[in-house]
Amino acid sequence: MLFETLINDIVYRVEIDRNRSLARINDEILEFEIVEQNNGRILLRSGTKLYKFDNIHVNGSSVSFALNGVFLETIVKDEQTLLLEKLGFKNQTGKKEGDLNAPMPGKILEIMIQPGDKVDAGQPLVILEAMKMENELKAPAGGIISALLVKAGDSVEKNQHLLVIS
């Protein structure tokens, strides 16, 4: 997993390999252990240091939390957002008329369009399975599919960006 975030005017580029409990933060490689507690607190241990994350709130790419008692707010760019920026697309932090975001967490069962296809507002585009129900996601606007950010079989989070209609 690759992420990038800005905290206290410092950009952190974070690559996490949870299978091996390794993280690369900027150019430093760290071993870590994560313990999730029942009260919502997350403990992150790296070497002799212990970090306590509390009051974690995620709203799209905006994340707020307390780290060892200090409240922080940041925007987290995931791998898809970083790729879009690298390809020259504007950051998709706010929902635009032609954006389609997942309304709930689930699994992409079917994608009925391809990049370059012309679509009409209200046209079915994606089938999302959530809570054992199939949900038909429709085009919020007419236009051309300019970016398809998921594929069939992908698991998605609530508000995850699925595609762009220009």
126 phi, psi to nearest 5 deg: -140, 140
The answer to whether 53 and 62 are in contact (CB under 8 A) is no
Q: Please state which of the four CATH numbers 1.10.10.10, 2.60.40.10, 2.40.50.100, 3.40.190.80 is assigned to the domain occupying 95-165.
A: 2.40.50.100
Confidence of residue 152 (pLDDT cuts 50, 70, 90): very high
pLDDT tens sequence across 68-122:
999 999 988 888 778 777 766 554 444 456 788 888 899 999 999 999 999 988 8
Tell me the domain boundaries of the chain.
2-79, 95-165
